[in-house]
Amino acid sequence: MVYFENPAGQVLEDPTQLVRIVWRAGIRKMNETQALLTHARLALQRYGWHRVLINQTQMVPFTPEEQQWIGAEWLPLATAAGYRHGAIVVSPDVMVRLATAFITTQVQSRPLVYRSFEDEAEALAWLQKQ
């Protein structure tokens, strides 16, 4: 079920008690990224869930501004809201992977585990064990 959507992507409520973030293709504005991720955090908080499935197969790389905001602002708030496990379905674009890796290395001091997957079914299977 769609919880939120904008030009950056969709936040979906999954019946297996996790939040799905599906990034769309194309350039996005910073405020669209912020809105999408803020709603994902609010969904975690609302339902008391701790798992997020992130599909990046269509997205363009995060900008340095997005990387900074996600690492410094969103991650601390999301982990405070209960975010503990993130499964990323990676893009075939190496630049997207590098931009994402920059963010995931910033979680070392947080109670959060990320794993990357090529296949969404594998990502979902891993998350369901968490």
The secondary structure of the chain, three-state, reads CEEEEECCEEEEEECCCEEEEEECCCCCCHHHHHHHHHHHHHHHHHHCCCEEEEECCCCCCCCHHHHHHHHHHHHHHHHHCCCCEEEEECCCCHHHHHHHHHHHHHHCCCCCEEEEECCHHHHHHHHHCC
Question: Stretch 15-26: mean pLDDT, rounded?
Answer: 96
Question: Stretch 41-61: mean pLDDT, rounded?
Answer: 96
Q: What is the CATH number of the domain that holds 13?
A: 3.30.750.24
Percent pLDDT > 70 in the chain is 97
Q: What is residue 121's predicted lDDT score, i.e. its pLDDT? A: 96
pLDDT in tens, 67-117: 999 989 999 999 999 999 999 999 888 888 887 877 777 666 678 898 999
Residue 25 scores a pLDDT above 80: yes
The residue count of the chain comes to: 130
Higher pLDDT, 34 or 113: 34
Q: Residue 26: how many CA atoms within 13 Å on its side-chain side?
A: 8
Burial of residue 58 (number of CB atoms within 10 Å: 0-12, 13-18, 19+): middle
Residue 98: give the domain boundaries. 2-128
Higher pLDDT, 17 or 105: 17
Number of domains in the chain: 1
> For the chain, what is the mean pLDDT?
92
Alpha-carbon separation of residue 119 from 1, 89, 91, 124 (angstroms): 21, 6, 10, 9
Q: What is residue 107's predicted lDDT score, i.e. its pLDDT? A: 65
Global pTM? 0.92
